[in-house]
């Protein structure tokens, strides 16, 4: 196993890694819309926060030598399911390969974020 870590994505806010490589599999921990330079949540609606989440995911994927096309499964967590359509509008710009996905509403996310996304990818 190999730990993936980059300063271009938020540092873990708990006892976990940004991502782990196991064989050809890459497992990204859930990303919330933290701006890496400030450690603060991106201020704005679901669209703004989802864009930040995608930037964070992109940075971790890049550090692992991958990109969004390597994704095979995502799990998406929304604080409010009424944000589903707006979230999808941003999501589909990044995950163009349409990986398998689960998307659920949750009672609350860390730091009161509106969205969190975790990714499983296969490395080439």
Out of 35, 48, 86, 103, pick the active-site residue: 103
Please classify residue 14 by burial: count the beta carbons closer than 10 Å to its beta carbon, then call 0-12 exposed, 13-18 middle and 19+ buried.
exposed
Q: Mean pLDDT, to the nearest integer, of 101-109?
A: 97
CATH number of 2-122: 3.30.1330.40
Domain boundaries, given as residue ranges, for the chain: 2-122
CA separation for the pair 78, 120 (Å, rounded): 18
Tracing tokens 């890459």 back to the chain, one arrives at: 26
CA separation for the pair 39, 42 (Å, rounded): 9
Quick check: is 76 catalytic?
Answer: no
| pLDDT at 12 > cutoff 90 | no
* Model pLDDT, residue 98: 97
Residues in the chain: 124
| pLDDT at 14 > cutoff 90 | no
Q: Mean pLDDT, to the nearest integer, of 63-70?
A: 98
For the stretch 71-86, pLDDT in tens is 999 999 999 999 999 9
pTM over 0.95: yes
């Amino acid at each position: 196993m190999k730990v993936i870590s980059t300063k271009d994505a938020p540092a873990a806010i708990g006892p976990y890694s940004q991502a782990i490589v196991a064989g050809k599999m890459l497992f990204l921990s859930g990303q919330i819309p933290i701006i890496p330079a400030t450690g603060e949540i991106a201020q704005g609606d679901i669209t703004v926060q989802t864009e930040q989440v995608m930037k964070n995911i992109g940075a971790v994927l890049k550090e692992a030598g991958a990109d969004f096309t390597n994704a095979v499964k995502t799990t998406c967590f929304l604080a409010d399911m009424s944000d589903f359509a707006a979230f999808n509008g941003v999501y589909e710009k990044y995950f163009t390969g349409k990986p398998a996905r689960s998307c659920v509403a949750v009672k609350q996310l860390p730091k009161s974020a509106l969205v969190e996304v975790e990714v499983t990818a296969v490395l080439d």
